[in-house]
A and B are shown apart, each in its own frame.
Chain A
Amino acid sequence: MLEGILGVLAEGGTVSYSDLARALDVDHALVRQMVEHLATLGYLRPVAGPCREECRTCSLEASCLSGPENTWTLTEKGRRAVRVTGRTAV
C-alpha cells in the first residue's frame, strides 16, 4: 500500500489525495494517514501548508497563495526508496 504511493511518486508529477485513493482503492482518510505516516518515517516532507518554515520571513505570508492545503514531496530517503520501489512495485 505504502509502496503504491511511492510508486505513483516514482512516475513524477503531482497527485491529489483523491487520485491516490482511486489508485489504491481506499478511502481518502486512509490516504491522508498513509501520507502522514510516510512523512513520520522520513520518506516525505511537507513543502507547503500553514506551518512551512520558508514563509515565516515572507511579507506576503499573511496573504499567501499557497493556502491551507498540504503538499508533500519526497525526501532524499524517499527518492532512494522510490528508485527501488519504482522498479519493483505497483
Chain B
Amino acid sequence: MTEPRTIKVALAGQPNVGKSTVFNLLTGLSQHVGNWPGKTVERKEGTYSHNGTSVHIVDLPGTYSLTANSAEEVIARDHIIREKPDVVVAVINASCMERNLYLVAELLALQTPVIVAVNMMDVAEQEGLKIEPQVLEAALGVPVVPMTATRNQGIRELVEAIDELTRDGASYQPKRPEIREDHREVLDDLRDLVVAYVPQPYPADWVSLKLLEGDDEILRMMQDRLPEDVWERVHDILKEHEDAVVAVASGRYDWVGRMTRAALVRPGVGQVTLTERLDRWATHPLWGLLVLVGVLGLVFFLTYSVGAPLQGLLETYVVEASAGFLTVALASGPPWLLDLLVNGVLGGVGTVITFIPILIIFFAVMGLLEDVGYMARAGYVMDRFMHLMGLHGKSFLPLFLAFGCNVPAVMGTRVIDSRAGRLLTTMLVPLVPCTARMMVLAFFTPIFFGGAAPLVAWGLVGLSLLVLAVSGVVINKIAFGGERAAFIMELPLYHLPNWRSICLLIWQRSLAFFKRAGTVILVVSVVLWALSALPTGKIETSYLAGVGRLLAPLGSLMGLSWKMMVALLTSFVAKENSIASLGVLYGAGGQASLAQTLPAIMTPAAALSFLVVQMLFIPCVATVVSILHETRSWRWTLFNLVFLLMVSFGVGILVYQVAALVA
C-alpha cells in the first residue's frame, strides 16, 4: 500500500481579506493553534484531504508586503523560503485589488508557485466592480480562483486548483514584475557578485533584489557571508544606487497597474461619483475660481446681511445700555473712573465684543464649507496663485480665515509646513481686511462717498488683496529666494454636514476670541485710554495728542490732520477704535454728527487716502501679539510692523496725491 501524497500549502494575504475564513473552511475542525517559534504571533495550522492527498495548511500572518518591516512579514517570508510549501495561496480582496496585488508581486519573486484566490467577490460586485478572473489568470500567468468565502463559494475550486498545480507544475508560467529598466544592469551586477555566497535555501535573484531594496535583514545576512572585498563592492553599488528601492517598487506598481487595467472594470466607464462630478467644477482652473469667488461673495453676504443688524443691536442694548447704566451708577464717583470704564473698557473691549454675531456667522459658514469638504478645494484652486508668492495652497486657508479675524489666521499658519512659508503667510495676514476693518470701511464709505460707497468699498478690498499679492511676490523673492515647494493633497469626499461638529467649531473659535478680548485687548484699551487722558484729562492736550502732532507732517502728505493720524494710531488697539476716536476728537458725540462733520472738513482725496491707510495699516495689537507668539521672533514682528507702516503710508500718499491731482 502506497503512502498518501502529502503537500504543504501556505495561506498568505493582507489583514482583513477573509484569509481566516478561507482557512477555517479548508481545515474545518482539524486545526492547531500555537505561536511562531520565538514570537508572540499566532500560528494556525490545519489539514484536509482531497483526492487521496493530505494537505497541510499553514495560515501565515497577515502582511502588506514581504519587506522586513515587521515580525509578521519576516515570519511569512521565512516560512515560504525555509519551509518551501508546495503552493502559496495568496488571498486577495476583490474590492481593493490594487492594494492586494502588491503582495502578490512580492510573492511571485520567490520560487514557490502561487495561486491567487480573489476573495470577497460579492463586496466587489456590490461596489459595481467587474473582475474578470480568466483575464487576470492570463495576465498573471498563475491560477486565479474567484471566491466569496463567507458564502462558501469558490472553496471547492480552490481545492481543485491546489491539487492540479501540485500535480502538474509545467503549466505554471508566472509573469513576474520586473525591476525598472534602468536598474536591470545593476541588479545583474549585484547578482553576479553575491550568487556564490547566497546560503541555501535563499534564491539568489530574490536576495539580490532585497539587497537593492535595502532590506536590513538580508543586508546583515550577506554582510556576514561575503568576503570583505566583495562586500565593499556590493556596498559601493548599493550606496551609488540608494534610490534603487524606488525602481524595484516601481516595477511592481507598473505590474499591478497592468494587471488591474486588464482584469478590472470600474463601474460603467463615464459614470462618475458625485464628488468627481462636483470637482469637475470646483477644482477646474477657471470655473473653480469662479465658484470660489461666488462662495466668498455668499459668505460675505450672509455675514453682513445677518450679522451687521445683530451687531447694531448689541451696540445699542449692551454697550450703550452699559454706558448709560455706568453713568448713572457712578454719578457720584470720580469722573476718571467713569471715563475709564465707558471710554476705555467699553470703548475698546465692548466694541470688539459687539462683533461676536458677525464672527459667529462667519465661523458657521466657514465651518459648514469645511465640513462638507469644500475648503480643501478652495485651497487647491488658490494654489496656483499662492505659488506665485512661493506659497502652498494651504496658505490660502489661514489667509481666508483672516477675513474673519487676523488673530486666528496667524495661529492658523501652523498648517503650513515650512518655516519660510509660515513666516511669509504670517507677514501677509494683516493685509487681509478683517471684519473689524470691513466695519470701519462700511461706516466711513457712505459718509465720504454716498452712492458710490459700495464701489469704493470693494475697490479698497481689491486694493488690499492686490497689495497682499505684490508684497508676497516681493518678500518671497527677496527673503526666501523664490523657493517653490511641492505637495500631494488628498481632497476628501463631499459629504453632508455634521451640525454638532460645526457648533463645536463655532463655540471653540468664539471662546478663543472672547478670551483675547478679555485679556490683551482689555489691558491695551486701558493703557491707551490713560495715554489719551493724561496728563490734563483732555484728549487735545494728552500724551496721545502729542504723538499725533508729531505725525502731523506725515499726515499732511496724505491730507490728514493730526486727529485723523491719532484715530489711525488708536486702531492699533482694535480697528473699530478709529470710529470712536474720531467721534471723541471731533467732539461729535455720536455717529450721526460725525457723518455731518467729516465730509465738511475732508476732501474726498483725503478721505480715500485715510481709508487706504486704514486698510493697509498695522494690525491690531492682538494680531501683533499673536505674530510675536507664533514667529517667536521680535525681528520678524518688527519687520512686519515697519513693512506695513511703509506700505500703508506709501500707498496712502500715492493715492492722495494722484486723487488730488485728478480732482
Residues of A within 8 A of B (CB): 1-3, 5-6, 8-18, 20, 24-27, 29-30, 32-35, 37-38, 40-41, 43-44, 47-48, 54-55, 58-60, 62-74, 81-82, 84-85, 88
Contact = CB atoms under 8 A, between A and B. Distances in A.
A38 B247 CA distance: 12
Given A47-B417, A73-B417, A14 B487 contact: yes
A70 B490 contact: yes
Contact of B486 (A10, A33, A63, A88): A10
Contacts of B276: 18
Contact of B243 (A40, A62, A84): A84
B398 A73 contact: no
Contact of B487 (A6, A59, A72): A72
A29 B397 CA distance: 27
A82 B69 CA distance: 25
A2 B250 contact: yes
B182 A30 contact: no
A60 B413 CA distance: 11
Contacts of B657: none
B442 interface: no
12 contacts: A1-B254, A12-B486, A18-B276, A18-B283, A30-B99, A47-B417, A60-B509, A65-B375, A67-B376, A68-B492, A69-B489, A71-B487
B79 interface: no
Chain B interface mostly helix, strand, loop or mixed? helix
Interface in B337-378: 366-367, 370, 373, 375-376
A48 B415 contact: yes
A77 to B, nearest CB: 8
B541 interface: no
Interface of B: 69, 96, 98-99, 102, 180, 182, 243, 245-247, 249-250, 253-254, 256-257, 260-261, 266, 276, 279, 283, 366-367, 370, 373, 375-376, 380, 383-384, 387, 392-394, 397-398, 400-401, 408, 411-412, 414-415, 417, 484-492, 504-505, 508-509, 512
B398 to A, nearest CB: 7
A63 B180 contact: no
A60 B508 contact: yes
A9 to B, nearest CB: 4
A45 B148 CA distance: 37
B180 A12 contact: no
B488 A3 contact: no
B486 A35 contact: no
Nearest to A45: B417
Contacts of A14: 380, 383, 387, 392-393, 486-489
Contact of A67 (B102, B279, B492): B492
A27 B387 CA distance: 28
Contacts of A66: 394, 397, 415
A12 B387 contact: yes
Contacts of A73: 417, 485-488
A77 B284 CA distance: 32
A88 B182 contact: yes
Contact of A63 (B102, B261, B383, B508): B508
B257 A25 contact: yes
A63 B257 CA distance: 39
A47 B419 CA distance: 12
Nearest to B397: A65
A47 B387 CA distance: 17
A59 to B, nearest CB: 6
A88 B254 CA distance: 17
Contacts of B387: 12-14
Contacts of B243: 81, 84-85
B486 A11 contact: yes
Contacts of B384: 13
A26 B412 contact: no
Contacts of A3: 180, 246-247, 250
A66 B253 CA distance: 30
Contact of A24 (B257, B283, B486): B257
Contact of A62 (B370, B414, B508): B508
Nearest to B275: A18
Contacts of A47: 394, 417, 487
The 3 tightest CB contacts between A and B, nearest first, are: A1-B253, A47-B417, A63-B505
Given A24-B257, A29-B96, A62 B486 contact: no
B487 A67 contact: no
Given A5-B488, A65-B397, A66-B394, A30 B256 contact: yes
Given A26-B257, A88-B182, A72 B397 contact: no
Given A2-B253, A43-B246, A29 B411 contact: no
Contacts of A88: 182
B490 A34 contact: no
A88 B243 CA distance: 13
A60 B415 CA distance: 11
Contacts of A10: 486
A89 to B, nearest CB: 9
Contacts of A63: 367, 504-505, 508-509
A61 to B, nearest CB: 9
Given A1-B253, A63-B509, A67-B370, A30 B260 contact: yes
Contacts of A16: 283, 380, 488-491
A13 B486 CA distance: 5
A38 B246 CA distance: 8
B398 A65 contact: yes
Nearest to B483: A12
Given A16-B283, A64-B415, A88-B182, A74 B486 contact: yes
Contacts of A20: 488
Of the candidates B257, B411, B488, the one having the most CB atoms from chain A within 10 angstroms of its own CB is: B488
Given A62-B508, A73-B486, A81-B246, A17 B491 contact: yes
Contacts of B376: 67, 69
A7 to B, nearest CB: 11
B490 A32 contact: yes
Nearest to A74: B486
A74 B485 CA distance: 8
Contacts of A13: 383-384, 387, 484, 486-487
A56 B26 CA distance: 48
Given A13-B484, A14-B486, 18 more contacts: A1-B253, A1-B254, A2-B249, A3-B246, A3-B247, A12-B485, A25-B261, A29-B96, A33-B98, A47-B417, A58-B414, A60-B411, A65-B397, A65-B401, A72-B489, A73-B485, A73-B487, A73-B488
A6 B246 contact: yes
Contacts of A38: 246
